[in-house]
Amino acid sequence: MKNIIEVKNLTKHYKNFKALDNLSFEVKEGEILGLLGPNGSGKSTTINCVLSLLNFDSGSIKILGKKMTPDSYDIKSKIGVVFQDVAVFDELTVYENINYFCGLYISDKDLRKQYITEAINLVELNEFESFYPKQLSGGLLRRLNIACGIAHKPSIIFLDEPTVAVDPQSRNNILEGIKKLNKSGATIIYTTHYMEEVEILCNKIIILDKGEIIASGTSKELKELVSIEEKVSVELDSLNDKYLDEIKQFKNVGEVTYFDNILFVTYKKGKHNLKDLIDYMQENKIKYNKIFSELPTLNDVFLELTGKELRD
């Protein structure tokens, strides 16, 4: 697959703060790239630089093999952008909003009408064409926002947290729509804080922190970086400190916590960890109600690589 986006040695300062530090990555044709990172990691700055909405200090950006500049209108016509903040006109209906944004790129009225219908069908807004934005729920607004950004059938789509603060039904609709866009040939750059969405959608993942790429690869490849091999949770009626301290000394144990009658144990490696824990509880007559074992998740990878401290 050829490279659709090429970013090389991208550096950006805000006065004395280095927002991007020699950043380099590629996005291949047909990929859904997940761009992850805690607040302030450089995700928005990266996207704005790639879209030539923001000047940068050094480095280069190519899209579709051409240098990206503020005047690259031929490239921009092939790009769709859906920002986190809903950006539609309150005085226009659903249909009129989509028509306006599509009309920025598609002058042929018949073709534009076809594209608008297809966009409305994609996000399932057929029953709301004549509604004004103030009449729509949060989920419907998000779907309208997406339709406005993709109605002109761009080959590259940037989606910035498109499912934030929506109900599960709208979220599912949006995710299914993104899959359809990708199957139709669109290359997608996707940012979100919902790790399960990344696992569902993305072929490749980049994790940013402090303006640098700290990890990249598939979901499976990233999970191999984490020190956790197994996570066990046990629902208990009670557990005294003696038993808790002894479990912490088990072979291969990483972290042990007991909170709200649930024992959490992470293992760094090894086999038969769950059996050893069950045997110990039975020997010591520790009664448990439920017990679960699972492999590390992408969320575990994210927290291990970026830390658990709160970010602004």
Average pLDDT over every residue of 83-99 = 96
pLDDT above 70 (res 290):
yes
51 in Cβ contact with 79 (< 8 Å): yes
pLDDT above 80 (res 257):
yes
Residues 165 and 275 in one domain: no
Question: Residue 165: its pLDDT value, please?
Answer: 84
Residues 13 and 108 in one domain: yes
Which residues are CB-neighbours of 182 under 8 A, at least 6 positions away?
Answer: 30, 32, 188, 201
DSSP state of 155: S
Q: CATH number for the domain including 75?
A: 3.40.50.300
Among 204, 223, 242, the domain-final residue is 223
Residue predicted with more confidence, 271 or 217? 217
Q: H or E element: which one contains 18?
A: strand 17-28
Does 88 map to a domain?
Answer: yes
pLDDT above 70 (res 301):
yes
Number of domains in the chain: 2
pLDDT above 90 (res 250):
yes
Residues 279 and 147 in one domain: no
Residues 16 and 136 in one domain: yes
Q: 312 falls in which pLDDT band (50, 70, 90)?
A: low
Strands 187-191 and 156-160, sheet pairing? parallel
Among 200, 223, 246, the domain-final residue is 223
Q: In the chain, what percentage of residues exceed pLDDT 90? A: 89
Does 303 map to a domain?
Answer: no
Question: Residue 272: its pLDDT value, please?
Answer: 86
Residues 166 and 90 in one domain: yes
pLDDT above 80 (res 279):
yes
Residues 160 and 234 in one domain: no
Over the range 164-200, which residues count as b (16 or more CB within 10 Å of their CB) and which as e?
eebeeebbebbbebbeebbeeebbbbbbbeebebbbe
Residues 14 and 116 in one domain: yes
Q: 297 falls in which pLDDT band (50, 70, 90)?
A: very high
pLDDT above 70 (res 86):
yes
Question: Residue 308: its pLDDT value, please?
Answer: 79
Residues 106 and 79 in one domain: yes
Does 308 map to a domain?
Answer: no
Single out the residue of 39, 31, 108, 119 nearest to residue 310, CA to CA: 39
Average pLDDT over every residue of 152-175 = 94
What is the per-residue pLDDT across 94-107, written as a single tens digit (0 to 9) for each?
A: 999 999 999 999 99
DSSP string across 99-138 = HHHHHTT---HHHHHHHHHHHHHHHT-GGGTT--GGGS-H
Does 26 map to a domain?
Answer: yes
Question: Residue 311: its pLDDT value, please?
Answer: 76
Does 301 map to a domain?
Answer: no
Q: H or E element: which one contains 22?
A: strand 17-28
Alpha-carbon span 229 to 50, nearest angstrom: 36
Residues 218 and 236 in one domain: no
Question: Residue 7: its pLDDT value, please?
Answer: 98
Residues 270 and 140 in one domain: no
Q: To the nearest whole number, what is the mean pLDDT of the chain?
A: 95
Does 302 map to a domain?
Answer: no
141 in Cβ contact with 149 (< 8 Å): no
Q: 309 falls in which pLDDT band (50, 70, 90)?
A: confident
Does 312 map to a domain?
Answer: no
Question: What backbone phi and psi angles, to 5 degrees, belong to 78?
Answer: -100, 5
127 in Cβ contact with 99 (< 8 Å): no
pLDDT above 80 (res 32):
yes
Residues 98 and 210 in one domain: yes
pLDDT above 70 (res 238):
yes
Average pLDDT over every residue of 254-263 = 95
Q: CATH number for the domain including 240?
A: 3.30.70
Residues 267 and 155 in one domain: no
Distance from the first to the final alpha carbon of the chain: 38
Residue 239's domain comprises 230-295
pLDDT above 80 (res 310):
no
